[in-house]
Amino acid sequence: MIAIALDGPAGAGKSTIARTVAKQLGFIYIDTGALYRTIGLAATAAGTDTDNAEAVAALLDSLSIQLTFRGDEQRVLLNGEDVSDRIRTPEASMMASKVSAIPAVRTFLLSLQRKMAEENNVIMDGRDIGTVVLPNAQIKLFLTASVECRAQRRYEELIGKGMDVKLEDVKSDMEKRDYADSHLATAPLKPAEDAQIVDTSWLELHQSVALLTEIINHRLNG
């Protein structure tokens, strides 16, 4: 099986680009950020303080998280309920950043992620795929873009979903998320030593997809 690890900061376009590239290659796309968002959502719904690592860890045994596919679209089930849309809010993003700092949460999800990569050709995106989850991935890419570009993209995405948000708030949340993710004691956001860094700041979506597809095909075909 072939594993492609795609890491990078929030709002870099990892999910959209990886999903499109995976479809072109006939690979399974796995959005690991959705898993952390789901745990954050579950903790919030249960009234659990996401800053309390012990309380969140105690909640894990009651959770069943599954990734399913509707056509080529990944859906996330929490205890049998499809929460795919509910986890795509700025609040869920911040909760994901908090719970992802908890070692017990990362351990809880690690085996699930690795099992998927063992059974399928995958493009898996996240924060520590190349460094921790799939350290032996054949291809490792670190996708990045300026915070201004990432905030603008996320803002347009949220507006397109009918959410009432302000660009400056989205940018502020993203800067906070960047700081939190890169200063974690456990699996901080950083490129793997053997990762190729790809900056898409000034690229349109189709250009980013074309660039990553070219890089991956070149690496796969030697």
Alpha carbons 112 and 217: distance in angstroms, whole number: 27
Residue 147's pLDDT is 93
Rg (CA), the chain: 16
Residue 222's pLDDT is 72
- Give the Cα-Cα-Cα angle 138, 7, 40 (nearest 5 degrees): 125
Q: What is the mean pLDDT of each run of 10 residues along the chain (222 residues)?
A: 92 87 90 91 92 94 87 85 90 85 91 89 92 95 94 90 91 90 81 94 90 93 80
Residue 74's pLDDT is 80
Question: Which token pair is 112?
Answer: 């699930």
Alpha carbons 113 and 95: distance in angstroms, whole number: 20
Is residue 101 within 8 A of residue 117, CB to CB? The reply is: no
Residue 73's pLDDT is 76
Residue 72's pLDDT is 67
Alpha carbons 202 and 69: distance in angstroms, whole number: 31
The yes or no reply on domain 3-220 and CATH 3.40.50.300 is yes
Is residue 178 within 8 A of residue 9, CB to CB? The reply is: yes
Residue 114's pLDDT is 93
Q: Reading across the β-sheet that carries 122-126, which strands appear in turn?
A: 28-31, 122-126, 3-7, 139-144, 196-199
Strand, helix or coil for residue 129: helix
> Which residue in the block uniquely carries the two structure tokens 């860094």?
197
Residue ranges per structural domain of the chain: 3-220
Closest CA to 144 of 5, 7, 4: 7
Alpha carbons 54 and 44: distance in angstroms, whole number: 14
Closest CA to 42 of 22, 25, 58, 26: 58
